[in-house]
Every structure is written in C-alpha cells, then in structure tokens.
C-alpha cells in the first residue's frame, strides 16, 4: 500500500510539473487575416492606417493583427480609368481566429 501511494504521488507530481503549451496567438492576443486580391490589378494594403505592402494581382497575403477593433484599406494602384477602387474593412475580432477578405 505504501508503494502504491508513493507511485501515485510521483505520477501526480510529474503530471503537475508538465507545461501546457499556449498558442502564440493567445500569448500575443492576435488573430489571422488573409487578404486575397482576386483582380488583375495591384493594390496598396493599409492595416490600422499603416502601410503594409503592395498586394499583387491574383495573390494573397496573411497578417497577424492585434485582437480587438481593427481596420484595413485596399487602394487600387493601377488599371483604373477615372478613380481607383478604395475599399475599407473594419470589425472587432477575438484572438486565435482566422478571417478572409477577397477584393
């Protein structure tokens, strides 16, 4: 009986000492957003009013964005006649979620 109690103590001690891995998105409080340019024209991408990059025609990019309220804007660079396409997206999202925008 004494050996059983000691064995159980060792098992519970081992289980209690193991670390539970926390996902990076939970540690950093971020969510993932994929931007897909389905057009034949390049677009400038802005996230939270900060320029990120050019999204080439028929391509996609993924960003980890801080959870909570966010905004994104895509502005057509070329291929327009009078005015460029300018789309604004915004919402509030929780961490460790994945979202997609196609423009």
Residue 47 neighbours by CB under 8 Å, 6+ apart? 33, 63, 65, 70, 71, 72
Cβ–Cβ under 8 Å, residues 50 and 71: no
- Tell me which of 21-25, 43-47, 49-53 is least confident: 21-25
3-class DSSP state for residue 58?
coil
Cβ–Cβ under 8 Å, residues 42 and 71: no
- 60-85, pLDDT tens digit by residue? 999 999 999 999 999 999 999 999 99
Looking at the chain, the whole-number percentage of residues with pLDDT higher than 90 is: 80
Structural domains in the chain? 22-102 (2.60.40)
Say what the pLDDT of residue 13 is: 53
Could you tell me the pTM of the whole model? Answer: 0.78
The residue written with tokens 């960003």 in the block is 63
Say what the pLDDT of residue 20 is: 74
């Amino acid at each position: 009986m004494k050996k059983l109690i000691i064995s159980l103590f060792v098992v519970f001690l081992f289980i209690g000492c193991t670390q539970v891995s926390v996902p990076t998105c939970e540690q950093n409080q971020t969510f993932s957003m994929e931007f897909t340019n389905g057009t034949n024209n390049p677009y400038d991408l802005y996230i939270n009013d900060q320029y990120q990059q050019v999204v080439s025609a028929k391509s996609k990019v993924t960003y980890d964005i801080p959870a909570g309220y966010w905004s994104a804007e895509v502005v057509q660079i070329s291929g327009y006649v009078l005015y460029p396409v300018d789309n604004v997206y915004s919402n509030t999202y929780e961490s460790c979620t994945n979202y997609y925008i196609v423009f």
